[in-house]
Chain A
Amino acid sequence: MADHKPNILIIEDDPYILRVYERKFQQEGFQITTARDGADGVEKITAAAPDVILLDLVMPKKDGFEFMRDLKRIYPHKNIPVVVLTNLGQEHDVQRAEHLGISSYLLKSNMSIQDVFEKVRDTLHTGKSKSS
């Protein structure tokens, strides 16, 4: 991990969930950029230069799957690790997301906020994203 504060881009449409993420990651010393949906996320990605992305799947305008496609198109060579947190638990959703190159797929309702943070931290440490 780099010496600077790690940058995280959080893309989540539920404002309350978003605020919990913000609080937790601020407390853990992250530099945070937030986006309300996939389209907003794509717009902010250059300025945010994230080391890791925390992504929701079901969102208005542009969902998580579309965001992943855009990310691959805009940065074909930059493997930014993406942690997906969602309540979609269907096998084809997991496979679809994995096919698009995400690092971890987590179910919100099964996790504590500490779990989420640890998963993001571990992903940052291994620093890798599965490239599809």
Chain B
Amino acid sequence: MPEMEHLLKHLEEDVKTQGKYHQMLTSIGDGIIALDKRLRVTEINDTALNFFHKRKSSVTDKPYWRFFQVRNEHGKKKDDEIRHALRDLLHKARGRKKVDPKHLKRVYVHIPSEGITPIAVSLALIYSDTGSVQGAVISFRSIEEEVEVSQMKSTFVSLTAHQLRAPLTSIRWNIEYLMGGGAGSLTMGQQEVMRDIYESNARMIRLINDLLNISRIEEGRIRVEPSPSNIKVMIDEAIKEVASQARAMNRKVEFTVDKSATEAPIVSIDKQLIFQVLRNLISNAVKYAATQGGQVKINLSKEKFSYRVSVWDNGIGIPANAKKKIFTKFFRAENANDVDPLGSGLGLYLVKMIVKVSGGSVGFESTSEKGTLFYFTLPLKGSPANLKGKRFSELKQ
């Protein structure tokens, strides 16, 4: 009976395949939980069971959130972002659409007798052969070590920077004292040397402040204290600050306000933070504008939900291969390096991070050798406050 033989062989292969899948599921290092459409557990591997200290029988056919409890990093209950994301995936897949998996980079879960652990989670839908959605699968792994390493790194940076400040301050104050004639008058040559030392010292302090500010922003520890501020007045002030630099470099700086924003453009923002954004963008534009006939144009306009500030220059532009990385920490485009070899590559990163914590967005358009336009927005409803963090550090000019 060849038909029967064929069927038996098929069955045997099926069992083998299933066994193989089962083995894979069991031995994989990530926790895997398969769910039906109502998010009840249909399959779970040993890694997941061990992670949550559960037995298979106690979790099967039960909603996953009975043991998979999402918390915030302090262990407090919060919205279950995994459940949200799963429901979202299932919702999007109605009508048999293929939906891409979703990745959650960091979620905190509560493990009985262990406490709060950070995990990375991937969520995907399970489809049948015919393409209908059968359920979903959660795969996850602990990222406790990664989080610890990243915290150590950031503590190291902030401690080192902090320790460096005291000696740098004492150097600066001593130079000021000498330059002010405190230890007798200096010759022209000595004055010149002193000014160079002073400048280098100021650069180091700025760099350290940038590093400290960045590590604070990255960890959500920067103080954001919004208060009603006139953005036009702030732009005027920022321009004033770069005026001498612009004059020395022979750059023409223009500021225009769109009709949309002529009526007192007041928005609730952290003045010090946004001023830093303006300062960085405008001084960059002055620095990188064309050497002959250099121009910088700043514009303020009001859109439906935000104010928009743009800073344009007719300078070196951002080369195509640098565009992707322009907001990356420590990145410097080659042509920018030629103009100013002393840049730290932190300015634009800081701009991006500050605008982000201020609830706005940032972007640019640029053509190499023609010029660059940077812009950022600030929401009309104002920036969200964070009154717990540390103040932004800056060296007064």
B165 touches A114 (CB 8 A): no
What are the 3 tightest A-B residue pairs by CB atom distance, in nearest-first order?
Answer: A16-B170, A113-B173, A20-B173
Q: Assuming A20-B170, A89-B393, what are 19 further A-B pairs, CB within 8 angstroms?
A: A17-B170, A19-B170, A23-B183, A24-B177, A89-B391, A90-B390, A90-B391, A91-B387, A91-B391, A107-B393, A108-B166, A110-B395, A110-B396, A111-B396, A112-B173, A112-B176, A113-B176, A115-B396, A116-B173
Residues of A within 8 A of B396 (CB): 110-112, 115
Partner of B223, one of A14, A91, A108, A116: A91
B209: interface (CB < 8 Å): yes
Contact of A109 among B176, B182, B183, B395 (CB under 8 A): B395
- The residues of B that contact A19 with a CB separation of less than 8 Å are 170
Contact residues, A58-101 vs B (CB, 8 A): 87, 89-91
Asked if A46 CB lies within 8 Å of chain B CBs, one says no
- Chain B contributes a number of interface residues (CB within 8 A of A) equal to 27
Q: Which residue of B lies closest to A24 (CB)?
A: B177
Q: In the complex, what residue of chain B is closest to A85 when comparing beta carbons?
A: B169
Min CB gap B58→A, angstroms: 45
Contacts of A14 in B (CB 8 A): 166, 170
A69 to B180, CA, bound (A): 37
- Report the nearest B residue to A18, measured CB to CB: B170
A114 and B180 contact, CB distance less than 8 A = yes
Whether B390 contacts A112 by the Cβ 8 Å rule is: no
B149-193 to A contact mask, C-beta < 8 Å, 1/0: 000000000000010011111101110110010110000000000
Residue B205 at the chain A interface, CB threshold 8 Å: yes
List chain B residues, Cβ under 8 A from A126: none
Cross-chain contact A114 with B176 (CB below 8 angstroms):
yes
Mark interface residues in A13-39 (1 if CB within 8 Å of B CB, else 0).
Answer: 010110110011001000000000000
Determine the residue in chain B with the shortest Cβ distance to A13. Answer: B166
Task: Give Cα distance in the complex from A19 to B387, angstroms.
Answer: 36
B162: which of A20, A23, A87, A91 is its contact (CB, 8 Å)?
A87
Q: Are A87 and B174 in contact (CB under 8 A)?
A: no
Is B10's CB within 8 Å of the partner chain A? Answer: no
Contacts of B180 in A (CB 8 A): 114
Contacts between the two chains (Cβ within 8 Å), count:
66
Does B394 reach chain A (CB closer than 8 Å)? yes
Shortest CB distance B176–A (Å): 5
Question: Interface centre among B172, B173, B390, B395, by most A CB within 10 Å?
Answer: B173
A113, B388: Cα distance in complex, Å: 29
Which of B177, B223, B389 makes the CB contact (< 8 A) with A20?
A: B177
Cβ contact of A27, chosen from B162, B174, B182, B209, cutoff 8 A = B182
CB contacts (< 8 Å) of A109 on chain B: these are 165, 168-169, 205, 209, 393, 395
Q: Which of A23, A108, A115 contacts B177 (CB 8 A)?
A: A23
Chain B CB within 10 Å, residue with most, of A14, A17, A89, A90: A89
The interface residues of chain A lying within 8 Å CB-to-CB of B167 are 16
Q: Beta-carbon contacts of B289-300 to A below 8 Å, as 1s and 0s?
A: 000000000000
**B162: nearest chain-A partner, CB-CB:** A87
A-B contact pairs, 30 of them (CB 8 A): A16-B167, A16-B170, A16-B174, A17-B166, A17-B169, A17-B173, A19-B170, A20-B170, A20-B174, A20-B177, A87-B166, A89-B391, A89-B393, A90-B390, A91-B387, A91-B388, A91-B390, A107-B391, A107-B393, A108-B165, A108-B169, A109-B165, A109-B168, A109-B205, A109-B209, A109-B395, A112-B176, A113-B173, A113-B177, A116-B173
Question: What does the 1/0 interface line of B360-397 toward A look like (CB < 8 Å)?
Answer: 00000000000000000000000000011111011110
Nearest Cβ in chain A — how far from B241, in angstroms?
16
A15 nearest CB neighbor, chain B only: B170
Question: Smallest distance from the beta carbon of B211 to chain A beta carbons, Å?
Answer: 12
Q: Quick one: closest B residue to A93, CB to CB?
A: B390
Find chain B residues with CB under 8 A from A116 CB: 173
Selected from B162, B182, B209, the residue in CB contact (under 8 A) with A24 is B182
